[in-house]
Amino acid sequence: MIWNPEIEQADRKTIQELQLSRLQDTVKRAYENVPFYRQTLDKAGITPDDIKSLDDLKKIPFTVKQDMRDHYPYGLLAVPMSEVVRIHASSGTTGSATVVAYTKEDLEIWSECMARLIVMSGGSKDDIAQIAFGYGLFTGALGLHYGMEKIGAAVIPISSGNTQRQVQFLKDFGSTILVSTPSYALYISDVAAQMGIDLAELPVRIALLGSEGHTEEMNAEIERRWGVIATENYGLSEVMGPGVSGECLFKEGMHINEDAFIVEIIDPETGQVLPEGSEGEVVITTINKFAQPLLRYRTRDISSVTTEPCRCGRTSMRMSKIKGRSDDMLKIRGVNVFPSQIERVLLNTKGVGPSYEVILTRKNFTDQVEVVVEIDDMSLLESYGELEALSRRIQEKMQQELLIKVKVTLANPMSLRRYEGKARRVRDLRGETE
Ligand code: DLL
Q: Per-residue pLDDT tens for 405-433?
A: 999 999 999 999 999 999 999 999 988 76
Name the residue ranges covered by the structural domains of the chain.
Answer: 1-326, 330-428
Whole-angstrom Cα distance, residue 267 to residue 250? Answer: 28
Q: How far is the CA of 181 from the centre of ligand 1 (A)?
A: 9
**Ligand 1 near 233 CB (within 6 A):** yes
CATH code reported for the domain at 1-326: 3.40.50.12780
Strands 84-90 and 98-103: antiparallel
Q: Whose CA is nearest to atom 29 of ligand 1?
A: 236
Q: In three state form, how does the secondary structure of 142-209 look? A: HHHHHHHHHHCCEEECCCCCCHHHHHHHHHHCCCCEEEECHHHHHHHHHHHHHCCCCHHHCCCCEEEE
Whole-angstrom Cα distance, residue 249 to residue 258? Answer: 19
Question: Sign of dihedral through CA atoms 210, 213, 216, 222?
Answer: negative
Q: How far is the CA of 58 from the centre of ligand 1 (A)?
A: 25
Say yes or no: do domains 1-326 and 330-428 share a fold.
Answer: no
**Ligand 1 near 212 CB (within 6 A):** yes
Question: What's residue 433's pLDDT?
Answer: 64
Q: Are 187 and 420 in contact (CB under 8 A)?
A: yes
Whole-angstrom Cα distance, residue 353 to residue 308? Answer: 36
CATH code reported for the domain at 330-428: 3.30.300.30
Most informative mutation of 139, 219, 236, 239 for ligand 1 (most atoms within 8 A of CB): 236
Most informative mutation of 110, 135, 211, 284 for ligand 1 (most atoms within 8 A of CB): 211
Whole-angstrom Cα distance, residue 392 to residue 137? Answer: 44
State the pTM of this model. Answer: 0.95
Question: What's residue 329's pLDDT?
Answer: 85
Encode the chain (434 residues) as per-residue pLDDT tens digits: 999 999 999 999 999 999 999 999 999 999 999 999 999 999 999 999 999 999 999 999 999 999 999 999 999 999 999 999 999 998 765 567 789 999 999 999 999 999 999 999 999 999 999 999 999 999 999 999 999 999 999 999 999 999 999 999 999 999 999 999 999 999 999 999 999 999 999 999 999 999 999 999 999 999 999 999 999 999 999 999 999 999 999 999 999 999 999 999 999 999 999 999 999 999 999 999 999 999 999 999 999 999 999 999 999 999 999 998 888 788 888 899 999 999 999 999 999 999 999 999 999 889 999 999 999 988 888 889 999 999 999 999 999 999 999 999 999 999 999 999 999 999 999 887 65
**Ligand 1 near 235 CB (within 6 A):** yes
Please count the other Cβ atoms lying within 10 Å of the Cβ belonging to residue 393.
Answer: 15
Q: Are 286 and 109 in contact (CB under 8 A)?
A: no
Residue pLDDT, tens place only, 277-300: 999 999 999 999 999 999 999 999
**Amino acid occupying residue 39:** Q
**Ligand 1 near 123 CB (within 6 A):** no
Whole-angstrom Cα distance, residue 112 to residue 380? Answer: 50
210 vs 119, 178, 359, CA distance in Å? 15, 11, 24
